[in-house]
Structures are given as C-alpha cells and as structure tokens.
Amino acid sequence: MTLPANRLSHPAVRALVTALNHHDEQAFYDALTPDATMSDDGSDRDLREWCDREIFATRGHLEVRSESDGGLALVADYRNDTWGEMRTRWRFTVEDGKVSRFETGQA
C-alpha cells in the first residue's frame, strides 16, 4: 500500500514530494531553501544537477511506502526512465518551513 503525497505528515516534505511527482520544477525548488544540499547513497551531490538528471529529465516519481520521524524519513519506491524502479530511503532536514537538505539512497 502506498501513502499518497497529499497525505504525508510534514508540510515541507509533502510540498516537495508533490512537486516532484507532478514534475513541477518551480514548486520543487520553491519548497527548498536557497542553499539546500543533498546526498545520494552517502555522497554529496550538486543538487540542481542531480535533480535535473534523476528527477526532471527522466520523469522521476516517488511512491511512499512508509514515513517515520514526524514525516521527515520516508521509505519509497522511486522510479525514473533511466533506472526503472527501486526501493529507496529519504531523510529530510527542514528549516523555516522549507527543506534545507535531503539524503536519499537505496533501502
């Protein structure tokens, strides 16, 4: 069973995942702090380059399986046109109502 993005507990995470799934780059970046950072499988990446390659250019989509830590940690099936589908984990840091960092990797 999946948890729809619009039912995620944390409003900042909900906004980010909803924008990701709608391929709405403007709303996605609006949900992030200007200096947001991210990592993939434990390695820091250039956020905009990674998001363009892994989300927007390849029609990324996140199906949330579970959430914990007040909605700041997700386990989800992530798919895009490059890698297909895989089980992933996501951890979010939120400051002033926006995501300031996210960490993702295979679960």
Q: Which domains does the chain have, with CATH numbers?
A: 5-106 (3.10.450.50)
Tell me the longest C-alpha to C-alpha distance in the chain.
Answer: 34
CA dihedral 6, 53, 70, 36 (to 10 degrees): -120
Taken as a whole, the chain contains a residue count of 107
Query: Tens digit of pLDDT for each residue in 83-105?
Result: 999 999 999 999 999 999 999 99
Share of the chain above pLDDT 90, in %: 99
Question: What predicted TM-score, i.e. pTM, was given to this entire model?
Answer: 0.95
In the structure encoding, which two tokens stand for residue 92, read together? 């979010």
Q: Is residue 1 predicted with pLDDT exceeding 90?
A: no
Please give the Cα distance from 6 to 68 (Å, whole number).
Answer: 16
Residues 75, 80, 83: CA angle, nearest 5 degrees: 90
Distance CA 57, CA 51 (A): 8
